[in-house]
Amino acid sequence: MMEIGFHTDAFNSAYWNFDQCLGWARDHKVRYIECGAIDGVSWIHGLGYQPHVALWEDPLLLRRKMDKLGVEFSQIDAAFPLSLPEGATLGVEYILHTLRWAKLVGCPRVDTTDDRHAPTAFSEREALNHMRRIYRQIVPIAEAYEIAVNIEPHGYFTTKPVFMEEMLDFCEPPWLTMNMDTGNTFIAGQDPVAFLERFLARVSHVHIKDVSDTLAAAARGELTGIAVSHCAIGDGVNATNIERCLKVLAVSGYQGVLSLECEGQGGPMLERSMAWVRDALRKVQQ
């Protein structure tokens, strides 16, 4: 059975903290949650207005709190744009710190990606070789911690199937896998269903994200990703693709998490999105 979770990005605009997101998950009987990692101190997080976790927070104490609420991590987002030159320094350290923290908090996956722009400091080939070295440094450590490193289609390279295929071959499975994103692949001009089918064997986590008709008309093929959907899932122009992706996942026997990425508007829009996805999931799993 596929499980439903959500990314705490849904509550960025509401200025919630992570504890409030945990409470929302408990109250709505959502077992899985995903959030970003902050490697350092952020004033807005420290004041309690950001729904992500800082790596200075104690992971064992947080795990104890989450266990009491019946909530667990499906993934932690450490998506520094690795195709930038700083990917080899800041990006590597950020991901390694997140991996160690994720092990203690009981999270099985860490998400990564590339920059949304074409490289300027490198050629395409140099940027790919640069990222190959990064993943070959990170993934053996992830294997030691038994945590999967996901590559998410979100940037210039990762939303192009030919590049994603090469990147997934940087290291052997099962420790380098893909986080499918229905919204990013669509806004980048790809067919989300075809993208999913091509990489289905490597998918270990899925972001469900719709796209509004106005955003699609203005930016499809121009952007490579969007942070969250600003329409409820099911209300946008990507809804049919999402339904078809759910069918592909069900037929394949995928048993992972569907993490919803949606502007929550303090909760109501996320509730509508969750109801729509639950209904769509029931239909494909009958």
Distance of CA 72 to the CA centre of its chain: 15
Average pLDDT over residues 87-97: 98
- Give the end-to-end CA distance of the chain in Å, rounded to a whole number: 11
Q: How confident is the model at residue 228 (pLDDT cuts 50, 70, 90)?
A: confident
Q: How confident is the model at residue 229 (pLDDT cuts 50, 70, 90)?
A: confident
Residue 286 has pLDDT above 90, yes or no: no
Share of the chain above pLDDT 70, in %: 100
Residue 266 has pLDDT above 90, yes or no: yes
pLDDT at residue 227 in the model: 86
**Average per-residue pLDDT in the chain?**
97
Q: How confident is the model at residue 284 (pLDDT cuts 50, 70, 90)?
A: very high
Q: pLDDT tens digits, residue range 194-213?
A: 999 999 999 999 999 999 99
C-alpha separations of 207 from 25, 154, 204, 237 in Å:
17, 11, 11, 16
**Given its phi and psi angles, is residue 39 left (phi above 0), alpha (psi -120 to 50 degrees) or beta?**
beta
Residue 158's nearest CA partner among 82, 91, 230 is 82
Average pLDDT over residues 108-130: 97
Query: Under a CB-based contact definition with an 8 Å cutoff, are residues 251 and 223 in contact?
Result: no
Tell me how far apart the 2 most distant CA atoms of the chain are, in Å: 51
Q: pLDDT tens digits, residue range 181-193?
A: 999 999 999 999 9
Average pLDDT over residues 44-56: 98
**In this structure, which amino acid lies at residue 254?**
Y
Domains of the chain, start order: 3-285 (3.20.20.150)
Query: Under a CB-based contact definition with an 8 Å cutoff, are residues 276 and 260 in contact?
Result: no
Average pLDDT over residues 158-169: 98
Average pLDDT over residues 243-252: 98
Residue 178's nearest CA partner among 205, 155, 160, 198 is 205
